[in-house]
Structure 1
């Protein structure tokens, strides 16, 4: 089995405690996994989830990733990073926490790019904490994109990435990610939509083992209603779909955004019509998947020369330190990372 690096996330949020819960509650899934970050942070997290009658979760310091294989089940192997801050106050935005979270992601990304680990799973970080730390990226996706581009010695524009949110019921991929809605509208260009289709096709072709059925959501209500509510579908999205079809991709649309996700949803009684929906902007694509259950959703970065997954929720500062956070999405992220790593 491949080694999987799990980043600790923002130490003021729920990241460390859901990591601790995952090692405690899903030991088979967490085999050959280790945490990148700070030993004291994970020990505090283990204390936060302690309950009477529930076995404790010990923390073991390791010096190399391979030592994780020798750590007993239900024990958290932590590879400490020198120079990063220890635990920060629960629920408070902290530059120190942002800097530590970014540092663990950078280490794990570089290890994956060097082939030292098979995948990385990232616990939630806080975008304001990143900004306070002077990190010039709004989130994981952009940071990983920059690391991959630097590793391969190519300009950032030559390392296009996309965010996919996936559950057992629905997959969505976004044309734009962490930008304002105004900028997201401007990002709906023929080149961006076509590039999204190519990245999605290539990624799902590998994971599904067959040509994926791709649906494309329109930008405007009713997919523009023939130009009555906007012309992006006519002038941008439909030409991109046509170009993709000419190259052999199985793409349909643009469809009305308020119905296409229901058509793509798979349930035990009815398989979905499509394997994935291309959404034009962040909330259009993520709300449907999260509504179906944040405990099941997994964030996957497509287009990178490494495997990266994460839970589909944030740092949840309001409940951090209480030991009540649900680790289900993180466990699903580990399972998906292992499947994608092969």
Structure 2
């Protein structure tokens, strides 16, 4: 069983979930639970003329909230609170082994914060709810990237780059790839500075901070290379030289993945006591309720989740 959280009820989450269910077999629907609001799902189904009946065709954990259904496409603190409660319930059920993996539809960080939940997004929120430590992997067919840091300023990301964090990130990525069937993952670590500092000419962080984390992982038998200049390592990984790249900050990893797999890349949380995959896009308030939201990314996140719950088997 996988559980899909509806995300911000004023965004495209309800629509893409309905569209994903339209493509599911009866067996797949029976192995899928939706954590959301039934009134919102019915409202959106009616607007977009969906053939899916949320009451008959879905298993919905119905979580009511003030004002449901809300006006689509509008920032609302009530939507932020609802999104938090959908995730909170799914986490509890995942910890209780009622579901094997959570698939998250997009939340709006501003709405979440307006509701009093001050987190930088799903990854931080899930770490808070599970009292765990989380890393973000962006996964596509030909390029996978794990980040040492995500939703922080570039200045903070550099300050947060430590040898221990680099090592921990390598290990988290290595163990995750083993889970999905890669026995000896080939990992490359991107350099922080241009040309990895060019022998100290452009900075010493690559030699003094990143390299020790790599060496520690190598000494434990992990197949790790680097640091490798960021202007070449992603192309090499895309071409098949590596199974995973460690990026040192949000945009360093997100830009190459989104360039090649904007609609299909999956956001995967690793290091937590529960499994979670997600779409890699936002709430798209500008098109919410118009029936034109693309659900391909959600289908990819669901497929990755099913792979995780089946022990890496396709």
Q: Same fold (TM over 0.5)?
A: yes
Identify the match of residue 201 of structure 2 among 215, 221, 228.
228
The answer as to 2:104 corresponding to 1:105 is no
Superposed, 1:275-314 pairs within 5 Å as 275-314=243-282
Alpha-carbon distance in structure 2 between the residues aligned to 1:120 and 1:331: 13
The answer as to 2:164 corresponding to 1:191 is yes
1:22 touches 1:30 (CA, 8 Å); kept in 2? no
Structure 2 vs 1, CA of residues 298 and 30 (structure 1 numbering), >3 Å: closer, same or farther? farther
Query: 1:95 maps to what in 2?
Result: 77
Query: 1:57 maps to what in 2?
Result: 52
**In angstroms, what is the RMSD of aligned CA positions?**
1.4
Segments of 5+ residues of structure 1 without an aligned counterpart are: 61-70, 150-158, 267-271
How far 1:198 moved relative to its partner?
1.2
Question: For 1:228-253, what per-residue CA distance to the aligned partner results, in whole angstroms no more than 9, with x for missing partners?
Answer: 11111011111111111011110001
Question: For 1:283-342, what per-residue CA distance to the aligned partner results, in whole angstroms no more than 9, with x for missing partners?
Answer: 110111111122211000000111100011111111111110110110111111111112
Question: For 1:144-177, what per-residue CA distance to the aligned partner results, in whole angstroms no more than 9, with x for missing partners?
Answer: 112212xxxxxxxxx3210000011110000002
The TM-score, its normalising length taken from structure 2, stands at 0.95
> What secondary structure sits across from 2:98 in the alignment?
coil
Query: 2:149 maps to what in 1?
Result: 176
Identify the match of residue 333 of structure 1 among 278, 297, 301.
301
Alpha-carbon distance in structure 2 between the residues aligned to 1:184 and 1:30: 41
- Number of equivalent positions: 309
2:42 touches 2:53 (CA, 8 Å); kept in 1? yes
How far 1:31 moved relative to its partner?
4.2
Identify the match of residue 18 of structure 1 among 16, 22, 35.
16
Identify the match of residue 239 of structure 1 among 212, 219, 223.
212
Identify the match of residue 252 of structure 1 among 216, 225, 238.
225
How far 1:36 moved relative to its partner?
0.7
Query: 2:46 maps to what in 1?
Result: 47
Greater Cα offset, 274-283 or 135-144? 135-144
> What secondary structure sits across from 2:289 in the alignment?
coil
The TM-score, its normalising length taken from structure 1, stands at 0.87
1:84 touches 1:99 (CA, 8 Å); kept in 2? no
Structure 2 vs 1, CA of residues 238 and 255 (structure 1 numbering), >3 Å: closer, same or farther? same
> What secondary structure sits across from 2:180 in the alignment?
helix
Which consecutive segments of 4 or more residues in structure 1 shift more than 6 A? none
Query: 1:213 maps to what in 2?
Result: 186
Superposed, 1:1-12 pairs within 5 Å as 3-12=1-10
> What secondary structure sits across from 2:39 in the alignment?
helix
Alpha-carbon distance in structure 1 between the residues aligned to 2:262 and 2:144: 13
Query: 1:66 maps to what in 2?
Result: none
Query: 1:135 maps to what in 2?
Result: 117
How far 1:82 moved relative to its partner?
4.2
How far 1:26 moved relative to its partner?
3.4
Question: For 1:86-126, what per-residue CA distance to the aligned partner results, in whole angstroms no more than 9, with x for missing partners?
Answer: 12222221100000001100100110011111111000000
